[in-house]
Structure 1
Amino acid sequence: MAPDQDDAIHPAPDARRMLLSLPQAVILLAPGQKISMANPAAEQFLGQSQRRLLGRSLVDVVALDDERLMQRVYESDAPITARQVDAHVLGQGSRRVDIATTPVMDAPGWMMVTLGDSATVEPLGQSMPGDGDGRLRGPEVLAHEIKNPLAGIRGAAQLLARKVEGSDRALTMLIADEVDRIAKLIDQMQTLSRRTADPVEPCNLHETIRRASTILAAAGGAKEEGRTRIEEEFDPSLPPVLGSAHGLVQVLINLLSNAREATQGVENSRIIVRTRFVSGLQLHATDRGKAVRLPIEVRVSDNGPGVDPSVRDQIFEPFVTSKKTGQGLGLALVRKLMRDMNGRITHDRDEAGGWTHFRLHLPMASSGGSGRTRRKSAPDALNGQDL
C-alpha cells in the first residue's frame, strides 16, 4: 500500500489531541501569559478544571517564590527549565516544582509550559534498585554505555585522518575534539553524582595554587602569551589546610580559567589570588553533627565584567551559566568538591571597584595530624545559608 493511501486511512492525530494525551502536565499560554489550554494532567496537577483555568494569568496559578527567577522563566522568549523551585500553587499553598517553558514555533507570543513535582524526579546520583548488591548506579551505567561508543567514534576519526588531507582532515579533528568534549562533560556529571569523596589530608595551600597555575599555563600552550598574568598575594605564615590536594587543584583550575575568560579583552586586566587567615567563620556539617571552623581563605579576584546579574544567585547550580558555549557544570562541581572537604565557596561582586571575587574557606589541618581520612560525600550536608 502506498504511503499516501495509508495516511488517508490512518490520519495523524492533530497537535491538540496529542497534548491532551500526554502524561505530563502541559499548559498552553496565549500572548500575554493567559492560559489558553490545560491538558488533563495539568488539571490534575493544579487541582483545577480547564474551565476555571482558561483566561487566567499563569503567575496567578503558579507563582515562583524567587521573583527574579519567575521573571526569567515566564518572560523569556527562549526555552528555560527550572528544577526544584519553591512555588505557590493556586489553592494548594507552597509546593516544590519543576517547570519548563518552550516558545511555540512560528507562533509569536505563544508558549508551552510543562509542570511536575520535584519529588517525582530522581535527582542525579539517586540510588537505583540493586545499589546494595554491587551493581553500578544509574549515572555510572549511563556513562559506561555512552563512553564505549564515543571511544569507537574517536578511534574511527583518527583512522580516517590518516587517509584524508586538507579540509577533510580538519573535519576528522573536529570529530575527535567534540568526542573529547562530550567525554569531559560525562566525567563532570559522574563527579557531581559520586557519593564517596576523595581522602582529605594536610595540604600546602600555596603549592596547590601554583600547581593549578602551572597546569593552566601548560594547557594554554602557545596561546598563553598575552593572557592575563596571575598575581599572588600569599600569607607565608599560613599552616596546612585539611583537604584533597587533587580536589583543590581542580577547584582552582576552574576558578582561574573562568577569571582568564572574564578578563579576555579587558584593558589593564588583572587576576589576583590572595590567601589569608580569617577568624570566627564556622560551618555546620550535619553528617558529623559538629561545627567545623574555616579560618583559611583563598580569594580569586578578577577585574572582568562579572557574572550576569540574572544568574548570580544560581551560579553554583548545575546547568546555570551565562556563557554562550558553557554547560553550567564547572561551578557546580567546584561547590561539590568544596563540600566534600567540609569547605565553603562564596561569590560577590564589587561594582564600585569593578572586581569579581570567589572565596574559598577551608579548615585548618590539626597540629596533631590525624592522617588521611575519607568522608562521605554530602551534597546537602551544609545548613541553608552556606554554599
Structure 2
Amino acid sequence: MRTCFSRDDGIGYHIALAGTGEPFALLVDLLARETAGGGEGRVALAAVLSRDVADGLRIRLDELGVAIFPDAVEMFRACPQVNLVFDLCSEVEAEGDMLAGVPVDVPVLGRPSASLLWELLSGVVPVTGRTVRRSHAREMLMTIINGVEEDILLLDAQGRIVDMNAQVCERHARSKDELVGHHCLELEGDGFCRRDEGECPFSQTLRTGRKAEALHTSVDGDGRVFYHRIYTYPVFSPKGRLTHVVEMRRDITDRTHTEQQLQQAQKMAAIGELSTYVAHEIRNPLFAIGGFANSLLRSPGLTESEREKVGIILKESRRLETILRSMLNFARPTDGRSAAVEVNAVVEETVQLMRSGCEHHGVRVEMNLDLGVARARGVPELIKQCLINMVKNSMEAMEGGGTVRLATGMTGRWVEIVVADDGPGIPENIQNQIFNPFFSTKDKGSGLGLAMSRKIVDDLGGRLTLESRPGQGTTVTMHLVPVAAVDASELDERPDPE
C-alpha cells in the first residue's frame, strides 16, 4: 500500500496536488525540492492526485517517494495527514470528478490560489535563513550549469534521463519534459553510443563507482564525422549507494581536426625530407640497373626465357622510377605563382581528359557547372592535377560502374569544386587516414594521390574536405580562395607555369 509522511514530521502543511493544469509542474518542482530537503520548511508535497502524469515527472516523484493516486478516496486512505488540496484539474480531468471523497475539513483551493502560492513559495517561503541560502545556492548552481556549453545530463542507474542543462534542450530543440524519462541511448541514436572497443563510460562508472571517460564518434546525414569526449561521474546517496550518474558530452570535433592538421603537417614535412633523401640515394643505382637491363635486352645471345626475365627487370625498374618521381614531386614545394583560374574551364578540361577512361570502366561522368561562379586564386595545371586524382580515385572505387559528378559553385567565402561518386563509400574507421601519404585501400598505387592533392590545395590557401558513408558514396570538395576585385588585374598579368 502506498503511504505518505506521518503527522509528527514537524511540517505545517501536507499539500496534495490534484490534476495537471497550470502551474502543476512549477509547484511540483518547488514543493518536491522542499520535500527532498528533509522538512526544514513549513510545507511539503505529500501526494499527487492525477490519472495522467508525464513520464519525467512520474520518475521524479517516484524517486522522492511522493505517491500518485487516481482518486481522492484512495489518496486519503493512504495519506490521512493531507490537510490542503490544490485543484489544478483541466476540463477533461474535472469531468472525472477525482476530488470526490475529499473530507469536508480539508480546504480545496483553485488554480488562482495555486498560482499565488507558487509566487509566495518562490519568493518568501520558507523563511528560515538556512533554507533561503540553500535555495539561492541552488539557483546559482543551475545558472552556472546552464551557462556551460557542454551537454550535461543527470541519469538514473538505469540510464534514464532525470535532468539536464539548457544546452541539451537547445541543441535538440526539445523541452526538458520531452526529454526526461528517455534512455540516454535515445538522445543521439544507437550509432553515437556504439563502442568498437572499450566499455561504455556510463556502464564503467556504474560498475566501478569512479569517473570514466571515452571518445565517441558519430556520422551525420552528410557523412561528416563528429568527435565527442564523454565524461561520467558517480553520484552517491547519503548512505553511500550509487543512485545517479552525471554525464558530460563535449564536442571536440574542431579541436580534433586542428590536431589532425598539425600532425599531418608535421608528418608531411618529415616525409618530404625523407622522400627527397631516399629518391636521390636510390635513383643512381636504379639508373644503372635500367641501363644494364636495356643492354642485356639488346644482346643477341639471350634465350627467350632469359629475355623475358630481363624484360621484367626493366619493367619493374621503370615502375620504381615512376614512384621515385612521385616522391620527388610530393617533396617539392608547390609553385607559388597564382593566377585567376576559371574553375569551370578546368573542370571541363579534366572531364575531357578522363571521360574515355571512365567510360571504359563503365563509369558515367556528369557536370553541373555554376556559370556565375567567381574565379579562384590558384595554378590551373595543379588544380587540374588534383581533379584528375579525385576522379581517378572515384572511378577505381566503382568496380561495377557508376556515376561521377563534378560541380562548381560558391559557399560563403570559398569557390568550390565538388567531385562526388555513388561508390561503396569509405569506412568510418579509416576516413582520417585517407589523406595520409602512402595510405591506400587499393593493391596498386603509391597512396600519394590524395595526399598530394591536399598539399597542393593547402599551399594555394584553400582546403580539401571529404564526406563519405559506407554504401552511399563519397564526396570530395576542393575549397579555393576567390579572386577579389582589388587583385584580379595583378593576377592576370602573372604567367602560368609551364
Q: Is 1:359 the equivalent of 2:491? A: no
Query: 1:125–1:139: 8 Å Cα contact kept in structure 2?
Result: no
Structure 2: runs of 5 or more not aligned:
1-197, 199-213, 218-262
Distance in 2 separating the partners of 1:343 and 1:356: 20
Q: Is 1:181 the equivalent of 2:301? A: no
Name the counterpart of 1:249.
Answer: 384
Q: How many residues are paired up? A: 234
Name the counterpart of 1:271.
Answer: 404
Name the counterpart of 2:447.
Answer: 328
Q: Decide which structure has the larger Cα Rg and report it.
A: 2
- 1:173 Cα deviation from its structure 2 partner: 4.1
Give the 5 Å matches for 1:91-240: 125=269, 139-163=275-299, 169-195=307-333, 197-216=335-354, 220=357, 225-240=360-375
Letter in 2 for 1:186: L
Query: 2:423–2:473: 8 Å Cα contact kept in structure 1?
Result: yes
State the TM-score, normalized to the length of structure 1. 0.52
Name the counterpart of 2:462.
Answer: 343
Name the counterpart of 1:260.
Answer: 395
- 1:346 Cα deviation from its structure 2 partner: 0.6
Query: 1:199–1:244: 8 Å Cα contact kept in structure 2?
Result: yes
CA, structure 1 residues 317+166, in 2 after alignment: closer, same or farther (shift >3 Å)? same
Structure 1: runs of 5 or more not aligned:
1-58, 60-64, 69-118, 129-136, 281-292, 375-387
Aligned CA RMSD, in angstroms, stands at 3.7
CA, structure 1 residues 299+186, in 2 after alignment: closer, same or farther (shift >3 Å)? same
CA, structure 1 residues 365+350, in 2 after alignment: closer, same or farther (shift >3 Å)? same
* Residue deviations 1:140-184 (CA, integer Å, cap 9, x gap): 343223222222322333333344576655544433332233223
- 1:66 Cα deviation from its structure 2 partner: 7.2
- 1:304 Cα deviation from its structure 2 partner: 1.1
CA, structure 1 residues 213+148, in 2 after alignment: closer, same or farther (shift >3 Å)? farther
Letter in 1 for 2:489: G
CA, structure 1 residues 179+350, in 2 after alignment: closer, same or farther (shift >3 Å)? same
Give the 5 Å matches for 1:82-93: none
- 1:335 Cα deviation from its structure 2 partner: 0.7
* Residue deviations 1:247-291 (CA, integer Å, cap 9, x gap): 11211111111011011224xx1111111121x2xxxxxxxxxxx
Query: 1:347–1:357: 8 Å Cα contact kept in structure 2?
Result: yes
Distance in 1 separating the partners of 2:216 and 2:287: 45
* Residue deviations 1:340-365 (CA, integer Å, cap 9, x gap): 1111111112457x221111111112
- 1:194 Cα deviation from its structure 2 partner: 2.9
CA, structure 1 residues 190+258, in 2 after alignment: closer, same or farther (shift >3 Å)? same
Secondary structure at the counterpart of residue 369 of structure 1? helix
Distance in 2 separating the partners of 1:179 and 1:215: 28
Secondary structure at the counterpart of residue 417 of structure 2? strand
CA, structure 1 residues 177+215, in 2 after alignment: closer, same or farther (shift >3 Å)? farther
Secondary structure at the counterpart of residue 490 of structure 2? coil
Distance in 2 separating the partners of 1:318 and 1:127: 8
Letter in 1 for 2:461: N
Distance in 2 separating the partners of 1:66 and 1:173: 53
- In terms of fraction of residues, the more helix-rich structure is 2
Letter in 2 for 1:274: A
Query: 1:311–1:320: 8 Å Cα contact kept in structure 2?
Result: no
Secondary structure at the counterpart of residue 329 of structure 2? helix
- 1:317 Cα deviation from its structure 2 partner: 1.6
Distance in 1 separating the partners of 2:433 and 2:287: 34
Query: 1:273–1:301: 8 Å Cα contact kept in structure 2?
Result: yes
Distance in 1 separating the partners of 2:427 and 2:304: 40
Distance in 1 separating the partners of 2:427 and 2:437: 16
Query: 2:355–2:365: 8 Å Cα contact kept in structure 1?
Result: no
CA, structure 1 residues 148+350, in 2 after alignment: closer, same or farther (shift >3 Å)? same
Give the 5 Å matches for 1:263-302: 263-266=398-401, 269-278=402-411, 280=412, 293-294=413-414, 296-302=415-421
Query: 1:125–1:194: 8 Å Cα contact kept in structure 2?
Result: no
Name the counterpart of 1:108.
Answer: none
CA, structure 1 residues 123+234, in 2 after alignment: closer, same or farther (shift >3 Å)? closer
Distance in 2 separating the partners of 1:205 and 1:271: 17
Q: Is 1:313 the equivalent of 2:443? A: no
CA, structure 1 residues 196+249, in 2 after alignment: closer, same or farther (shift >3 Å)? closer
Query: 1:147–1:183: 8 Å Cα contact kept in structure 2?
Result: yes
* Residue deviations 1:107-159 (CA, integer Å, cap 9, x gap): xxxxxxxxxxxx9xx9564699xxxxxxxx76434322322222232233333
Letter in 2 for 1:272: R
Distance in 2 separating the partners of 1:351 and 1:125: 32
Distance in 1 separating the partners of 2:281 and 2:309: 25
Secondary structure at the counterpart of residue 324 of structure 1? coil
- 1:224 Cα deviation from its structure 2 partner: 5.8
* Residue deviations 1:33-88 (CA, integer Å, cap 9, x gap): xxxxxxxxxxxxxxxxxxxxxxxxxx9xxxxx9789xxxxxxxxxxxxxxxxxxxx
Query: 1:307–1:322: 8 Å Cα contact kept in structure 2?
Result: no
CA, structure 1 residues 224+198, in 2 after alignment: closer, same or farther (shift >3 Å)? farther
Distance in 1 separating the partners of 2:310 and 2:384: 32
Distance in 2 separating the partners of 1:177 and 1:224: 28
CA, structure 1 residues 237+309, in 2 after alignment: closer, same or farther (shift >3 Å)? same
Query: 2:406–2:419: 8 Å Cα contact kept in structure 1?
Result: yes
- 1:212 Cα deviation from its structure 2 partner: 2.8
Query: 1:308–1:322: 8 Å Cα contact kept in structure 2?
Result: no
Name the counterpart of 1:29.
Answer: none
